[in-house]
Chain A
Amino acid sequence: MSPIAPDPAVVPVAAPPSATMLSYEGVYKAFGDHLVLKNVNLAVANHEVICLIGASGCGKSTLLRCTNLLEPIQAGKIVLNGAEITAPGVKADQIRRRVGLVFQSYNLFPHMNVLKNITLGPRKVLRISRSEAEAEAEQLLERFGLRDKLSEYPDRLSGGQQQRVAVVRALAMRPEVLLLDEITSALDPEMVGEVLDIIVELKGLGMTMMLATHQMAFARRIADRIVFLDGGAILEQGDPETFFRHPREERTRQFLDRVMSSL
């Protein structure tokens, strides 16, 4: 793992790096009669960056959406910092604020400017005063090179800028873990870099992250661990070097061949 310089302004004061931040135990998810996640078991360590890869429809996005409790699971459990978040009676709203989620299509609120987009959560959910929330938002924007976009509306920003604002919006809630759902898939190629740079910076700050991504080169560079999903189940996982050089499973090899040859 690369050296970490934890920054309390971005990443909440953390547990020891070895501790488990997030774990999935026998998670099943079905949409109607279609099984999307099959017995997913995974433990994510504190400060760990995991890249989920796999073909479209393999369950990457669904796994992330289930972690944010946007989708209920049908069996198994998800545990965040020692507490089961999928237990009955758990208030979903109180979990979601601790689990940041960034979407492929940014989903910024078009009727609010950048500052309002970012401070909405802190003000409404964390009940932070307006001035305090705005000060924190400005700090984050400054840090990620978006200070001058503060009062712009989303439709005046490029795709890359919008997605960076979306990341900042998630960060403003001080999430314990950040989930990134194919955040560069909707971007023009020349804007992918600026968004990925933020992820690299966040890794340096010690943010625990799970990324669903099709950017193999980036996954290889940033991931502590690659998790390969196939048909809703984890087929293979390992550190990037081993995974990309010596995939064990035939299905993994086929997938990598297909993805790499298209580059």
Chain B
Amino acid sequence: MDIPASPTAPAALSADEVSRILRKPPLWRRPEVLRSTAIALVSTVLLVLVLRWLLLRSAGWESVQAAFFSREDFKAAWPKVWDGFKLNVRIFMIAEPIVLLCGLLLAIMRGTRNPALFPIRALAIGFIDLFRGAPALLVILALGFGMPGLRIAGLPSSPVFWGTVAVIITSSAYTAETFRAGIESIHPSQRAAARSLGLTGFQAFTTVVLPQGVRRVIPPLISGFVGLQKETSLVAVIGPLDATRQAQIYASLHFNYTSFLAAALLFILVTIPLARLTDYLMERTSRDRQVGGLV
């Protein structure tokens, strides 16, 4: 039986009209994109103008500007601060790979279920609890002044060495928890599938559970990189001349704080790319999980 078309039903779109719906113009040609960009631009400019006006009419602005935003002092402080920053980068470059390794090891140790390995598990839990709880600054002070104080032959006494060790220890504790979250997020059926094929528990873990778990926590891991990069500046409290310390020295010698601005700028410049990388990876993961539709 033929069902009569409703008299109010509009005619179907022509193939041409359908293709217009399907075709996506480039970003800059879409009216909705242009509109939202314009709005964002106007509101940003407005905000900046308001803030600027507030700053300029404040009574102390002139002196603050001279103390924090002096072009001459920036130039004068830069070489030393830059020199110090190289130490921050060096500590970071040495610490980060070790942190990743130690964090993963701690997470694996903590995840063992075999009763015979309980001491290992207890050790990992104790370590993580201790160094996630203790402020990094205190750990740096304790190791930096304590270890050389033991005067054990062959043990390095350099503050850079012990500062780095302290940073590694505290970051590892955090990183271990990140890894553990990833490992535990993998559904037990994955392990069951691997075991059902005859893989040993260890093989199932290393080939099936771990690779998936690590992949899931790459964004928070990179976030951790950012944290570690900043934490290297704490090492200054036991003496090494890093960017923060150099800035501090300049400030106390010249009664001008622009050097801090220089140090801050360097840290920010390094962390921004890492932050954008995290954003990108997180967006990609969420896109992957949305296969089949947005809602």
Contacts and interface: CB of A to CB of B under 8 A. Distances in A.
Contact of A124 (B192, B193, B203, B291): B203
Find the residue from B192, B195, B198, B215 having the highest chain A CB count within 10 A.
B198
Interface residues of B, number: 19
Given A103-B193, A109-B193, A110-B212, A120 B198 contact: no
Interface string A101-130: 101010111110000000011001100000
A169 interface: yes
A68 interface: yes
Interface in B167-182: none
A94 B195 CA distance: 11
A70 interface: yes
A97 interface: yes
Contacts, number: 58
A96 interface: yes
Contacts of B211: 111
Given A110-B212, A111-B211, A120 B197 contact: yes
Interface in A114-167: 120-121, 124-125, 155
B261 interface: no
B230 to A, nearest CB: 32
B65 interface: no
A186 to B, nearest CB: 12
A173 B189 contact: no
Nearest to A95: B198
Contact of B197 (A94, A111, A155, A173): A173
A7 interface: no
Contacts of B185: none
B200 interface: yes
A233 to B, nearest CB: 25
10 contacts: A68-B196, A93-B198, A97-B198, A107-B192, A111-B211, A111-B212, A120-B194, A125-B197, A125-B198, A155-B291
